[in-house]
Amino acid sequence: MTESSVAGNDDRRTTHQNMTDQNTAAPASAARVGNSRNRAGDKMLIALDVDGTLVDHDGHMSVPVREAAQAVVAAGHHVMIATGRSLNATLPVIEHIGIENGYAVCSNGGVILRVDSGLPEGYEILHKATFDPGPVLRALRKRLPSAKYALEDGDGNFLSTERFQDASFGVEAVGVDFQTMLEATAVRVVVFSSENTPEEFNTAIRHIGLAGVTYSVGWTAWLDIAAAGVTKASALEQLRDRLSIETHRTVAVGDGRNDIEMLTWARRGVAMGQAPVEVIAAADEVTKSVYDDGAAHVLRSLL
């Protein structure tokens, strides 16, 4: 199977940094669908997670998934990437599936993006949800002193301790001391511990009792933190209202704990086959795993 690589990983496994686009032109089926685009009242809002959904845990998007996504975009639906990735790690995915005009949710809802190929940069930021990371960082540092910390600030920069870098950041993190991080304004905070098992990490997080923020724990000893009340679902609801899409015309597909709110928000919430049990429990249905092109099966059902 021919695949292409799209940098980034919500799932915190090592990924390929370079995107190799093999035959990115929309397939003939997408072109045919695009010839009879949906009327405004028939359009659906389709929210798609990236890592573990559109791409596998090595960062590869299969040809069937890419072609199915391109076909749904060409059909005129509101296809939106909804990811934990930051902006610069999200843009290659948007381009890869052929979204030239539309919207996207980055940083687990912390950033809402309007995509417009006519703009100088190809996009504009509609909204950023920031918060003071000081209290939560102090509490985490006390409980997890050996963990690595990274922070996305309001300007889209990443600050990090101990040379902490991940493809989902989309930019090279700047090494800073912990005090500098405490004084920054955050869109997203990431915590990773290589010295704890996921179970130990989860226990530590529960004991800390994080307050005033929204957080989700990844597959590994990884924690994503956003402003209070900010999730993929909260951002998608803003976009649904902006576009006047009826609630029964919403679909979401995802595999991670940071997708749970999005899956319950959508009228049709679909969990990937390899998703944890709590994610599957939140969904209306389960598709095949990312390695069996589960997202393609869902997307083709919408055509």
Q: Does 4 score more than 70 pLDDT?
A: no
Can you give 111-167 as a three-state secondary structure string?
A: EEEEEECCCCCCEEEEEECCECCHHHHHHHHHHCCCCEEEEEECCCCEEECCCCCCH
Q: What is the pLDDT of residue 204?
A: 85
Q: What is the pLDDT of residue 138?
A: 94
Q: What is the pLDDT of residue 195?
A: 84
Confidence at 163, pLDDT banded by 50, 70, 90 = confident
Cα separation, 181 vs 178, in Å, equals 5
Provide the 3-class DSSP secondary structure of residue 10.
coil
What is the pLDDT of the chain when averaged over all its residues?
Answer: 88
> Where exactly does CATH 3.40.50.1000 map onto the chain?
43-128+230-301
Provide the 3-class DSSP secondary structure of residue 12.
coil
Confidence at 283, pLDDT banded by 50, 70, 90 = very high
Confidence at 135, pLDDT banded by 50, 70, 90 = very high
Q: Tell me, which fold does domain 43-128+230-301 have in CATH?
A: Rossmann fold (3.40.50)
Q: What is the pLDDT of residue 78?
A: 98
Q: What angle do CA 127, 45, 103 make, to 5 degrees?
A: 30
Region 154-179: mean pLDDT is: 92
> Where exactly does CATH 3.30.1240.10 map onto the chain?
134-227
Q: What DSSP assignment string belongs to 227-272?
A: ETT--HHHHHHHHHHHHT--GGGEEEEE-SGGGHHHHHHSSEEEE-
Q: What is the pLDDT of residue 220?
A: 81
Closest to 250 in 3D by CA, of 258, 273, 239: 239
Q: Tell me, which fold does domain 134-227 have in CATH?
A: 3.30.1240
Confidence at 162, pLDDT banded by 50, 70, 90 = confident
Q: Does 1 score more than 80 pLDDT?
A: no
Q: What is the pLDDT of residue 35?
A: 38
Q: Does 30 score more than 90 pLDDT?
A: no
Better pLDDT: 170 or 163: 170
The rounded percent of the chain whose pLDDT value lies above 90 is 74
Window from 12-16, 97-101, 225-229, 295-299 with minimum mean pLDDT: 12-16
Confidence at 23, pLDDT banded by 50, 70, 90 = very low
Region 223-233: mean pLDDT is: 96
Cα separation, 270 vs 10, in Å, equals 17
Confidence at 93, pLDDT banded by 50, 70, 90 = very high
Q: What is the pLDDT of residue 8?
A: 56
The rounded percent of the chain whose pLDDT value lies above 70 is 86
Q: Does 69 score more than 90 pLDDT?
A: yes
Q: Does 18 score more than 90 pLDDT?
A: no
